[in-house]
Structures are given as C-alpha cells and as structure tokens.
Amino acid sequence: MDRKTFLKRMSAAGLGLGLTSMTPLLSYAGTGNRQLTILHTNDTHSRIEPFPENASRFAGLGGVSRRATLVNRIRNENPNVLLLDAGDVFQGTPYFNYFNGELDFKVMSQMGYDASTIGNHEFDNGVQGFVDVADKADFPFVNANYHFGDSPMADYVKENIVKEVDGIRVGIFGLGIDFAGLVLGPLHEGVTYRHPVRLAQYQVNRLRNDFKCDLVVCLSHLGYNYNNPARVDDVTIARETRGIDLIIGGHTHTFMDAPERIRKDDGSVTIISQVGFAGIVLGRIDFEFNRSREVIRATAANHTVS
C-alpha cells in the first residue's frame, strides 16, 4: 500500500488527525464528568525515523519525533492521558542492530510511555540482551502468562500495574504469544509460556476485586484473530473472559479500520484495537466516566503519524 492509498483509507475510516469523526464504541445514558484518553502503539520495530520518501510503501510516514509531537498535542488538549505499547519494540531497522533496543527505550521514556508488554522480538538478543537495556526504560513492562522464575527478566516485568488518573483507577496487565516456532529455546532460557485465557481472567479478578480498578486494559502480543480455535488470539481472550474493557493488541501488524467490539452474553463489551506496525498510526480511545466512575461512553479516533 503506498502513502496516498494509506492516507485515503485512514481518512475514509475516520482515523484522521481530527476528533470530529470519532467512531462511537459505547454510549450509555448519564452525565459524564471525567475523560480518560488512552493512546497506544504496537510493533514499532525500531522505526526511529519516518519511512523514506522513496519507500515502496508507507513513504514519509511514522517517526518518533512526529509521534512525540502528536502525543504532546493531545496531552495539551486533555491531561488525563495514558500512553501504552503492545510489544515488539525491538528489531526492524539498523537502529536496533547498533543500539540493541537502548535507543528505543530512551525515546519511549522521553515520550512518557506508561507501560509496555513483551513481544517475541524482545527476546531477539536473548534474555540477557533485554536485561542489558531494560534499565533505559522509565516505564514498567507487564506480562501475566510468562513465568520468569529465576530469570533476570523477573526484575523488570510485572504481572500488572495500577495507574490512577483523575481519580479513575486503571488496571493494566500483559499477555505474550507462545514461543513455539517464534523464539528459539536458548533465547528465552528460564522464561516459559503459559496458556493465557485462565491467567487473563485471574488478572481481571484481582484488578477488579482486590485493587478496585474502574477500567481494565490488557496489553496483548497474541495477535488479533487467526480464525483458528487452536491458536489463542485477542478475539479468544475477549470472548472467553469477563471484565476486560480494552485489549490493545500486537504481533499480527493489523491495521484495523476501527476497533472491534466483542459483546458477551452478560451484556458487557470488550473493545479490541490494533494499529498496524512501525508507529505509522497512533491509536486513540477516549473513555468518559460518570460520577460513579462508570464508563458511559467510549470513542475512537486514531491518528496517522505523517
């Protein structure tokens, strides 16, 4: 897809730079008095600079400087912002080959990321390779279905975190993809994969009941939708768990025209969003809460980074 086609598609889907064509996701009766904006990326793959103007696809799009400018502009409009990432920060350009992810974590820290999960490419330099640069990240990593045991990664990855924004308690946990066929055994030595559905529900229950969270967000590097019952994906997690408000996905590099709503038998809804790869699109979901800290509205208006 070339730059012109991509921009035309994003505009047609209501994913442009303005907020006037927002996609409604949820709307309930009530008077809202607080707004929380969640911005998100996935699979940025060390795309520090924009794609070259003569690139065969996505020419001139992306770049961390442009993304930072956009994030700052949104924060100036609404200070209640969380900036999240769904993994695979590593690998993809010579910047990773030279800096081994250190530069990526530094620029993400300067942008003020609040959390990221672990993608399979975070193991490309082995467990120690991740640990060697992890202290350059001024934000936490979350993953609930990798068992880190005595691995040095255990010091850098939490099962979940809770962020409080304007009195709204947001619980955030992460899920990672099966290593089989993706990550060689020696590269994830000491780290084991566990089936994510049961562990996802466990995290939701803890965040809702023990930590009294008003909103629960899953940072997933499972992939969006394989249409294969043997493979766990974001749609599986949304359908088979209760209590997740938003799944921010990664791994499959899916440019979703708009987030998907999965409605359960109990009437609850889980929103799934993924914004391609390489930082070309900055995802945005706006949640509005009433005085009881209940979500009464959710809208999406993703931003093309150009």
> In the chain, where are the structural domains located?
3-14+26-304
Q: Which residues pair with 146 in a beta bridge?
A: 193
Across the chain, how many H-helices and E-strands are there?
A: 7, 17
Q: Which CATH number fits domain 3-14+26-304: 3.90.1150.10, 1.10.3720.10, 3.60.21.10, 3.20.10.10?
A: 3.60.21.10
Two tokens, residue 24: 């409604």
**Residue 177: closest CA among 120, 92, 235:** 120
Per the DSSP assignment, residues forming a β-bridge with 282 are 303
Quote the pLDDT of residue 21.
43
- Which helix (H) or strand (E) is 238 found in, with range? helix 234-240
Long-range contacts of 136-139 (CB under 8 A, 24+ apart): 136/102, 136/105, 136/106, 136/109, 137/105, 137/108, 137/109, 137/113, 138/109, 139/108, 139/109, 139/113, 139/114, 139/115
- The per-residue pLDDT for 15 is 39
12: nearest Cα among 254, 304, 288:
304
CA–CA separation, 217 and 181 (whole Å): 28
pLDDT along the chain (306 residues), means of 10: 53 38 64 89 98 95 98 96 98 98 98 98 98 98 97 98 97 98 98 98 98 98 96 98 98 96 93 98 96 93 95
Half-sphere exposure of 294 (CA within 13 A, CB side): 8
Using DSSP's 3-state secondary structure scheme, residue 33 falls into strand
Prediction pTM value: 0.92
Task: In whole angstroms, give the CA distance from residue 263 to residue 291.
Answer: 24
φ, ψ for residue 208, nearest 5 deg: -70, -50
